[in-house]
Amino acid sequence: MLILLKSTLETLNYFIDSMAEGHPDAIILDVNDPQFIADITRLLPLMDETWTVVTFNNGGRSCDYSGGSNIWEATGVKFYNFLVDHPVNYTGYFDAPLANEIFFVIDKKHTQFINWYYPGVQAYFMPHGGTRRPGAIPWREREIAVLYCGSCQPEIADVPPLPQFPDGGRAFYAYVGYEMQGNISLRTEEAVRQYLARENITLSKEDEIQAILYAHGTVERMIRRKLKMAVIGHLAAKGIPIEIYGTHWEEVAALYPDLINVHERVSSDECVRLAANAKIYLNLSTYYLDGTHERVYIAMQNGAICLTEQSHYLIEKFEHGRDIVFLDYSQLDVLGDDVLFLLTHPDEAEAIVASGQARAAHSTWSDRLDDIIHGTYDPPTTP
């Protein structure tokens, strides 16, 4: 039997609903529902090691008996915990994983992080999936030229001090920021370890992870903001209209008020509906260096051209100009020309759409659940 756990975030609950499509035996439980404990209690006598439980970002993981023991451990179910952010945000869970817990991460580099700092934890790569909806509009009739569903990182006024460094981390932040801006393929944890080696600094595992966490939450976020703004600005500078659904885009939108239309955030299902009316669906998920975001598959499965950053995973899976279109941060000056070509050459654009749809046809969230059930996922990656 199969239990899928919903929690707080709308996006992750949408992933659960999308996973359940095609799995009529799936039992969906909401951990915030007042009936949750009663539902679990009803199922307890039936649960054993043949059952599978899937959650996102630790939702419902701390499900305990009144005596304090964990229900998932006690029943022996297979507990799959899908993390959709960098694992540095969840290290407390790696310190004390459930005996039967397997983590999924969305980037192969994330398994390397876990294996480096928590070698006893079971972690596997599982890319995001897409959600396909019927009724997609023919490509030439679509109303949205370029669509982006997602927020930009907000400005950060200051960085928090790091007491493990004599200067509170000022030189540390400066080094990490300089190196990462100069090399978009450099992971935050790699930049941190480079700094420590250069300065001959040895930290405890806990202090090193804290340094990575702070750099991830500040330096990496600021670089992501800068790169996202640059992409949108280069497209608008070429006269390309862009529809954005998300927050913190005011800075670039003010430069091109007639071309960049910023809307409030919408539901995940509405993003899929919008993708079915977009000619080009933009994916900006910087630092997914060997993984992907659901926007890639949503675009392809709903008949839009996916314009996305490169990752090792995407380069291995798709061909640039045939299934997908990659943007290169080192060549943003040509980005607008590439998009204009696609918008004015419908035959070539529709060929990419058709090929992308075929290549992404079996990468829905429901397919990802099949992979979990059958154990057909990637083995761990060594650090």
Confidence of residue 157 (pLDDT cuts 50, 70, 90): confident
Confidence of residue 379 (pLDDT cuts 50, 70, 90): low
Name the phi and psi angles at 325, rounded to 5. -125, 120
Closest by CA position to 145, among listed 301, 340, 311, 338: 340
The matching CATH number, chosen from 3.10.300.10, 3.30.2350.10, 3.10.20.30, 3.40.50.2000, for 139-155+224-362 is 3.40.50.2000
Whether the predicted pLDDT of 38 surpasses 70: yes
The dotted CATH code for 2-129+369-374 is 3.40.50
pLDDT for 256 equals: 98
Q: At CA 378, angle to CA 292 and CA 18, rounded to 5?
A: 55
Mean pLDDT of all residues in the chain? 95
Domain with CATH 3.40.50.2000 in the chain: 139-155+224-362
User: What percentage of the chain carries pLDDT values higher than 70?
Assistant: 98
Whether the predicted pLDDT of 286 surpasses 90: no
User: Are 292 and 306 within 8 A, CB to CB?
Assistant: no
Alpha-carbon span 17 to 10, nearest angstrom: 10
Whether the predicted pLDDT of 378 surpasses 90: no
CB atoms within 10 A of CB 40: 19
Name the phi and psi angles at 73, rounded to 5. -70, -45
Confidence of residue 68 (pLDDT cuts 50, 70, 90): confident
β-strands 242-245, 144-149 pairing: parallel
Whether the predicted pLDDT of 382 surpasses 50: no
Whether the predicted pLDDT of 380 surpasses 80: no
pLDDT for 383 equals: 47
Our CA dihedral for 216, 219, 223, 225, rounded to 10 degrees, sits at 80
Span 210-235, average pLDDT? 97
pTM of the complete model: 0.94
- DSSP result, 65-101: -TTS-BHHHHHT-EEEEEE-S-GGGGHHHHHS--TTE
